[in-house]
Amino acid sequence: MSISGSTYADAAVTNGTSYYYIVNAVNSVGTSPNSAQATATPLSLLQAWRFANFGTIGNNGSAADTACPANDGICNLLKYATGIAPFKPAPSLAGPGLSATNNALTLTFNRIADPTLTYSVLASTDLINWQSIWTSSGSQNVSGPVTVTDGSSLSANPAGFLELQISY
């Protein structure tokens, strides 16, 4: 590959993958020796969020996926995936909402555009047996509100539960 100038931006990278670079200069006099190898690993969107909010990219301590630094019962991974600031307590948030519409349960939440996430909504009538009724991942993950409606009729199944799961 030939680059003109003194800077190079590699736009064809995958977040979380390490890349190795060795460079040299070429001019009318000749070619310089190779540089020492340089390594770069672009941050994933989740790592960048962790760094911006916690000063670390590690999935540990108060930055862990399962941590709840606002002590409101909403873990970091759910807050990240729904665009909620990690230190704001739940009462001041417009988080996932459950309602009954047209004789069916609906779950409304915000989704972010991170293709590495998988959003799943599961339904149950007894809190023991769960069935996946909706998923989103990859290029389907576009920013904005999502409303998922359970296909079961509330009059046929008066006990109904919906759960939002996030994984990567």
- Poorest-pLDDT segment among 17-26, 52-61, 89-98, 116-125: 89-98
Supply the CATH number for residue 151's domain. Answer: 2.60.40
One-letter amino acid for residue 8 of the chain: Y
Cβ atoms of 68 and 76 within 8 Å: the answer is yes
What distances in angstroms separate CA 99 from CA 6, 24, 147, one per listed residue? 57, 62, 10
One-letter amino acid for residue 131 of the chain: Q
Domain count within the chain: 1
pTM: 0.77
- Asked whether residue 168 is assigned to any structural domain, the reply reads yes
pLDDT tens per residue across span 109-163: 999 999 999 999 999 999 999 999 999 999 999 999 999 999 888 888 778 899 9
Task: List the helix and strand counts (H, then E) for the chain.
Answer: 2, 10
CA atoms within 13 A on the CB side of 4: 0
Domain that includes residue 119, residue range: 96-168
pLDDT tens per residue across span 72-98: 989 999 999 999 999 988 654 455 788
- Asked whether residue 10 is assigned to any structural domain, the reply reads no
Chain centroid to CA 116: 6
d(CA 86, CA 90): 10
- Asked whether residue 104 is assigned to any structural domain, the reply reads yes
**CB within 8 A of 22, min separation 6: which ones?**
34, 35, 36, 37, 38
- Asked whether residue 39 is assigned to any structural domain, the reply reads no
- Asked whether residue 90 is assigned to any structural domain, the reply reads no
Partnered with residue 109 across adjacent β-strands are 146
